[in-house]
Structure formats: structure tokens, C-alpha cells
Amino acid sequence: MKIAFFGTGLMGSGFVRRMRANGDDVNVWNRSPAKARALEAYGARAFADPAAALAGAERIHLSLSDDASVDAVLEPIAAAIAVTTWIVDHTTTAVSPTAERAARWNSRGRTFVHAPVFMGPPNALEGTGLMLVSGAQQRHDALLPSLQKMTGKVVYMGEAPERAAAFKLFGNLTLLGMLGVLGDVNRLAHAVGISTSDAFSLFKHFNPGQTLPARAARIEAGEFKSPSFEVSMARKDVRLMLEEAQRAGVDLFVMPGVAAMFDAGIARGESALDAASAARMPI
């Protein structure tokens, strides 16, 4: 397979090295040329111009920073991209711009597929992790053998080309939200004179992540009338956290938003429902 790969940062360089290990012929371009040239040690060919890197490529793969960077790279070379060259974008992008981008390339008679990933640089190098794909089923089916060589698991998200972008944001929201929660735990710990390591030792014994699927299922089912943890009691606990932090002059960042979510549920008259009710979209 002859591939042009645009974006050779930590993720992109791992992907390129994996492709070379799989026997693919890879041309590379990066906004910082040194990062592309470093991959010549692994048999890739570095180009200063993305249009030049397209020569003979059957596919373009991209691993860039955002929607603007994808368009900034692709739009100037649109006329140079052959009808037979597929565009596979692994960049984490927003939903609406991804839909618009797919429609724009389809109108030009080009094949654009969004395939974002839940992977770190070591995963890209090793070919492990999770890749999401959306768009026409036949496009997914045609790409699947090659994509499976890039990652441990490929999940098809459906016909709408922007669905993979949405689900990537769902996943990253969860991961970053967890980081925000850990930040608040750390701040509350310092407010009460407990070290970070001591506070985080709790998670050697208590794994709150195990409750996530059950909580999600309860929100999905809309079953809140047999509570295991009432909205009013959950809001009380959030108040205790905020007050304790404030006594030490420490601000929590995530829990004020959680408090607002519970307050909205209480305002709807849902104090006695399960706390998960506050997380649903009210009718």
C-alpha cells in the first residue's frame, strides 16, 4: 500500500512506524519538517510539501490537532488529490464540522472517512487500542483489513459520517471528566491536610469506575423511582465537599457544576429520586 501520512507528531509517527513494519510504502509530511525527516530512519520518505507527498498514494491518513488544521492541510491540495485516493482522518474533530467536511469531499467525488482513535503513542506504534469508524458501510468494509493492522479493535459507528466524531468526544469527555474529578479529590485532600498519595491510596481499594456501566444503564432506562442514593442526599454530600474546601480557601472546579446539576433536579421536584435522574436530559 502506498500511503501519504500528514501529521507526524507523537501519534502520527507511531502510526507511520507501524505502517512501515506492516510493509506499507509511506510518504510523510509535517508542519515541523524535522519530525517528518526523523521517520526516514524507518524507511519513510519525508516531503516539505504535502502535495508532493501525494504522488502515487492510494490513501491519505491524517493525525492532526483539530478541524482547522485538517482543512488547512487538505483544502490547498484538493485539486491534487486523485479521485482514487481515499482520505482517512484520525484527528479528534467536532461533530458538525466533520459532517460538513465529509459532505464537501463527497461532493468533489472523493472518499473521506473519519476514524478517530482511543490510543496513546505506544498503542499507535504497537498496533493496539481502539479505532472508531463511521460513514458508508462499504467504505468501512473496504478499509477494515488495513485499519485492523493499525489498532487492536475497530468499531463501526454507523452510516452518518460524523458519528465517530461524536463518540470520540463522548469518550474523551469521560476521560477528561475523570481527570477533573481527581483534581477535585486532590484539592479537597489538601484542604483537609491529607497528601495526594494518601488520598489516592483509596483507589487501591475502591474502584468507582466499576459503577459507571450501571449508572449509565440506569440513566438510559429512566428508572429512578427506586433510589439507591437520593438526589437530596447526593446534593448534601456535594455541599459538604464544597464547604470543607472553602474553609481552607481551596476552590473545587468540577463539583460546583455537579452541584448545579443536582440543584436543577431539585428544582424540578426530584429530590427523592435516584441521583442518576439529575444526569438525564429532562423532558
> Within the chain, where are the H helices?
10-21, 33-37, 50-53, 67-74, 95-107, 121-126, 137-150, 163-191, 196-200, 212-221, 231-247, 255-267
CA distances from 146 to 2, 25, 61, 256 (A): 12, 13, 12, 45
Closest by alpha carbon to 259, among 244, 237, 276, 277?
Answer: 237
- Judge contact between 16 and 28, C-beta under 8 A: yes
Average pLDDT for 13-21: 97
Q: pLDDT category, 283, cuts 50, 70, 90?
A: confident
Distance CA 43, CA 8 (A): 14
**Where is the domain boundary, 106, 140, 159?**
159
Q: What is the CATH number of the domain that holds 149?
A: 3.40.50.720
Same domain for 141 and 179?
Answer: no
Q: Are residues 54 and 181 in the same domain?
A: no
pLDDT, averaged across the chain:
97
Give the C-alpha separation, 6 to 64, whole Å.
7
Same domain as 121, residue 16? yes
Does the pLDDT at position 71 exceed 90?
yes
Q: How far is CA 166 from the centre of its chain?
A: 9
Q: Are strands 2-6 and 25-29 parallel, antiparallel or unpaired?
A: parallel
The answer to whether residues 186 and 125 belong to one domain is no
Whole-number Å distance between alpha carbons of 36 and 39:
6
3-state secondary structure of 180: helix
Question: What number is the average pLDDT over the span 109-117?
Answer: 98
Cα 250 to Cα 271: distance, rounded to the nearest angstrom: 28
Contacts of 44 (CB under 8 A, 6+ apart): 5, 16, 20, 26, 27, 28, 36
CATH number at residue 235: 1.10.1040.10
Do 7 and 144 belong to one domain? yes
83-112 tens-digit pLDDT: 999 999 999 999 999 999 999 999 999 999
Give residue 121's pLDDT band: very low, low, confident or very high (50, 70, 90).
Answer: very high
Asked if 147 and 221 sit in the same domain, the reply is no
Query: Residue 257: what pLDDT?
Result: 98
* pTM of the shown model: 0.95
Q: Where does a domain end: 139, 159, 179? A: 159
Both 11 and 142 in a single domain? yes
Instruction: Using CA atoms of 164, 169, 170, 172 in order, give the dihedral in degrees to the nearest 10.
Output: 120
Domain boundary among 112, 136, 159: 159
- Full domain range(s) for residue 266: 167-279
Residue 173: its pLDDT value, please? 97
Residues 40 and 145 in one domain: yes
Please indicate, yes or no, whether residues 186 and 96 belong to a single structural domain of this protein.
Answer: no
Alpha-carbon gap, residue 58 to 10, rounded angstroms: 23
pLDDT band at 17 (very low <50, low <70, confident <90, very high): very high
Amino acid at 259: A
> Total structural domains in the chain?
2
pLDDT in tens, 262-277: 999 999 999 999 999 9
Contacts of 142 (CB under 8 A, 6+ apart): none
**pLDDT value, residue 159:** 98
Same domain, yes or no: 49 and 113: yes
- Per-residue pLDDT tens digits for 206-242: 999 999 999 999 999 999 999 999 999 999 999 999 9
Question: Could you tell me if 135 and 176 lie in one domain?
Answer: no
State the pLDDT confidence band at 152, using cuts at 50, 70 and 90: confident
256 shares a domain with 121: no
